Amino acid sequence: MEAPQNKFQTGQILLIDKPLTWTSFNVANKIKWLIKKEFKLRKIKVGHAGTLDPLATGLIVVCTGKFTKRINEIQVAEKEYTGVITLGATTPCYDLEKEVDEEFPIEHITEELIQKTANSFLGEQEQVAPIHSAKKVDGKRAYEYARLGEEVELKSNTITIKEFDVEICDCPIIEQFEDSKINQATAYQKGVHIKFRIVCTKGTYIRSIARDFGLRVGSGGHLSQLRRTRIGEYKVEDSLTINDLENLF
């Protein structure tokens, strides 16, 4: 029978439900630390197949050992997200990692306009990533330029939105921050909140969708909540929490 530590070195795929404020690197590093500690290994390959922003939760696919060679194959699979877009205000990073910088009128926004705008996103299109993103420009991450206050031109990327379901809701945005390190005051309570489910191709920035949605309805928009629910065949309901992971080891 193969020793447990050899299974991780040969290759395993772990599905993890990323907590709020954790980075994808934090998740992969936690798994690497647990494996090395449990089996007294000096080194083990561990990597994740697709980054999630700190303020997003949901599915992270983590590969160990020789299965890290499958990361690129998993990353190109279609993805499903759910969350909330808030119309009526913008932030510099298109989500709540930074505070609102400008507010806009919302009186003209109707359910019909919301549905029509969502439909306008369906299909293949060009999208520009947020400046506060991990997209590489001349060997550096875009957010590195942003932190230094440097302007950089981001090239558009071809994406496809396959499904985009929306509905206006009275969403308690503040609740997502109750047990986190994020200042609850950053949650924007005004505006029109849109609950959504979106299925899209690799490289789609949901924060940019939120920004562009605001523009298309003649207002401003930002992402208030985001959860990744699927990557290809892998689903978040089959994933482990960090507590589950610790108990597993």
What does the alpha-carbon distance between residue 157 and residue 163 come to, in Å, rounded to a whole number? 18
Rounded mean pLDDT of the chain? 87
Question: Which residues, in sequence order, are bridge partners of residue 74?
Answer: none
Amino acid identity of residue 231, one-letter, is I
Asked whether residue 234 carries a pLDDT value surpassing 90, the answer given is: yes
* 159 DSSP β-pair partners: 125
pLDDT surpasses 80 at 242: yes
Q: Band of the pLDDT at 154, cuts 50, 70, 90?
A: confident
Contacts of 138 (CB under 8 A, 6+ apart): none
**Euclidean distance between CA atoms 79 and 58, whole angstroms:** 12
pLDDT at 141 over 70: no
pLDDT band at 170 (very low <50, low <70, confident <90, very high): confident
Half-sphere exposure in the Cβ direction for 16 (13 Å, CA): 31
Least confident of 71-75, 111-115, 126-130, 168-172: 168-172
- Percent of the chain exceeding pLDDT 70 equals 82
**How far is Cα 82 from Cα 229, in angstroms, rounded to an integer?**
7
Residue 188 has pLDDT above 90, yes or no: no
What are the boundaries of each domain within the chain? 4-76+233-248, 79-231
Mean per-residue pLDDT for 21-32? 95
Assess whether pLDDT exceeds 80 at residue 237.
yes
pLDDT of 91 reads 93
Report residue 120 as tokens: 């306008």
**Residue 16 · residue 63 · CB < 8 Å:** no
Q: What is the pLDDT of residue 185?
A: 45
* Stretch 102-120: mean pLDDT: 96
Give, in order, the Cα–Cα distances in Å from 129 to each of 61, 132, 135, 180, 228.
Answer: 22, 8, 7, 26, 18
What is the pTM (predicted TM-score) of this model?
A: 0.89
CB contact set of 119 (below 8 Å; sequence gap of 6+) = 164
Which architecture does CATH list for 4-76+233-248?
Answer: 2-Layer Sandwich (3.30)
Point out the least confidently predicted range of 14-18, 146-150, 177-181, 187-191. 177-181
Pairing of β 221-231 and β 57-64: parallel
Of the candidates 53, 95, 101, 238, the residue annotated as catalytic is 53
Residue 235 three-state SS: strand
Topology, domain 79-231: Pseudouridine synthase (3.30.2350)
Which run of H or E residues covers position 8?
helix 4-10
> If you average pLDDT over residues 63-90, what whole number do you get?
95
So what's the pLDDT on residue 155?
A: 81
Q: Do domains 4-76+233-248 and 79-231 have the same CATH topology?
A: yes
Closest to 38 in 3D by CA, of 9, 1, 69:
9
Q: Does 53 qualify as catalytic in the annotation?
A: yes
